[in-house]
Amino acid sequence: MLEQFERIGKDAMTELENVADLSALEEFRIKYLSRKGQVTQLLSQIGKLSSEEKPKAGQLANRIKKEVTQAFEKLKKTLETQKESASQELIDVTLPGIPVRIGRPHVITQTLNELLEIFGRMGFGVAYGPEVEDEWHNFIALNIGPEHPARDPSDNFYIDDNTLLRSQTSTIQIRVMEHTQPPIRVVAPGRVYRPDTVDATHMYMFYQLEALVVDEGVSMVDMKTTIEQFIHTFFGPETKWRFRPSFFPFTEPSAEVDLLLKDKSGGESWVEVGGCGMVDPNVFDAVGIDSEKYTGWAFGFGIERLAMRKYGITDIRLLFENDLRFLEQF
């Protein structure tokens, strides 16, 4: 009887080695491991043996069943994995890959980079400053007195009585002049904040680029020449522009810069894009620069306005809505 057990176990293992698919494996299970299978039936035959043979027969039957069952489960798992892999789509690694969509700089970033490149060719350095400022740099040093309407809480984002989000990048000019003796030739880009009502031409956060030149003998002619070179480089050599008298507390004399651009109706109209002027001597006195020896000029432009004028954008809100249908045009 024990020899018969050994033979059934050996036959099962040999046959299992030749099973090549799940269908044949199921036939093997029925033949050997089902309720009436040959391996399972070994245990039922132990009762026919003498009391002396039963222990050895029981151990042998259990060992054979365990070995056959383990081998069966291992092969089943292997065949199932092979079937799953075969059902998956084959990937041809020699084919070209799927193109990855590459991002591009935002239109404001593109405009800012172009501006910095233009002024860099003119010999300007670049200066940056904090967006959270104190009253000294944002108002007092810029000759904006305590009673000036520009300091009204309704026109600024105050954090406390002496701290606010900067309302102009002119604060960077003050910081540069505090720590640098003339000659000075820098542009100062950055975000500024004003609680304006949002509409097609106004935003409560926007970008500015200001320029500052301080040296001996600097005049309005130098400023006009620089602005003209900038406008003709950025908008094209045929662009018409003009100075229009204006007032700013930190420059005297002061002017607005207007461009002659086409409007929606196809006609032309003058559009204001920034302000400029000669640095007021009071500003030099506040930062410790000799106003008897040095003169200087400054101008500032809204970067969004420049981008809108150059690319024909009619609503400033489009620049901040992150609509790819709009942004992908640039």
User: Going residue by residue through the chain (330 aa), what tens digit of pLDDT does each one get?
Assistant: 667 767 777 777 888 788 888 888 788 888 777 877 777 777 777 766 667 777 777 777 778 778 888 888 888 888 888 877 766 666 777 888 888 888 889 999 999 999 999 999 999 999 999 999 999 999 999 999 888 888 998 899 999 989 999 999 999 999 999 999 999 999 999 999 999 999 988 899 999 999 999 999 999 999 999 999 999 999 999 999 999 999 999 999 999 999 887 766 677 888 888 999 999 999 999 999 999 999 999 999 999 999 998 888 989 999 999 888 898 888
Helix (H) or strand (E) holding 254: strand 251-262
Q: Is 160 left (phi over 0), alpha (psi -120 to 50) or beta?
A: beta
Shared domain check, 54 and 177: no
d(CA 137, CA 13): 90
Question: DSSP secondary structure string, 204-232?
Answer: SEEEEEEEEEEETT--HHHHHHHHHHHHH
The answer to whether the beta carbons of residues 190 and 169 sit under 8 Å apart is: yes
Q: How many domains does the chain have?
A: 2
Bridge pairing between strands 132-134 and 251-262: unpaired
pLDDT of residue 221: 94
> Domain ends where: 87, 122, 149?
87
- Would you call 70 exposed, middle or buried from its count of C-beta atoms within 10 A (0-12, 13-18, 19+)? exposed
Closest CA to 244 of 255, 228, 230: 255
Residue 178: other Cβ atoms inside 10 A: 14
> Domain ends where: 58, 87, 116?
87
Decide if 97 is inside a domain.
no
Shared domain check, 116 and 80: no
- Would you call 174 exposed, middle or buried from its count of C-beta atoms within 10 A (0-12, 13-18, 19+)? buried
Exposure on the CB side of residue 298, measured as CA atoms within 13 A: 30
pLDDT of residue 88: 63
Shared domain check, 44 and 135: no
Q: Is 312 left (phi over 0), alpha (psi -120 to 50) or beta?
A: left
pLDDT of residue 53: 72
Shared domain check, 183 and 323: yes
Shared domain check, 80 and 224: no
Which residues make beta-bridge pairs with 126? 187
Shared domain check, 267 and 217: yes
d(CA 188, CA 172): 6
Decide if 151 is inside a domain.
yes
Shared domain check, 170 and 80: no
Shared domain check, 166 and 267: yes
Decide if 98 is inside a domain.
no
Shared domain check, 164 and 123: yes
Decide if 94 is inside a domain.
no
Shared domain check, 184 and 52: no
Q: What is the pTM of this model?
A: 0.68
Q: Is 277 left (phi over 0), alpha (psi -120 to 50) or beta?
A: left
Residues 6 or more apart from 235 whose CB is under 8 A from it? 259, 309, 310
Shared domain check, 123 and 82: no
Domain with 77, as residue range(s), is: 2-87
The answer to whether the beta carbons of residues 123 and 230 sit under 8 Å apart is: no
> Domain ends where: 57, 87, 117?
87
Q: Which amino acid is at 193?
A: Y
d(CA 228, CA 226): 5
Shared domain check, 134 and 70: no
Domain with residue 184: its CATH number is: 3.30.930.10
Decide if 10 is inside a domain.
yes
In degrees and rounded to multiples of 5, residue 66 shows phi and psi of -65, -45
Residue 246: other Cβ atoms inside 10 A: 15
Residue 245: other Cβ atoms inside 10 A: 9
Q: Is 143 left (phi over 0), alpha (psi -120 to 50) or beta?
A: left
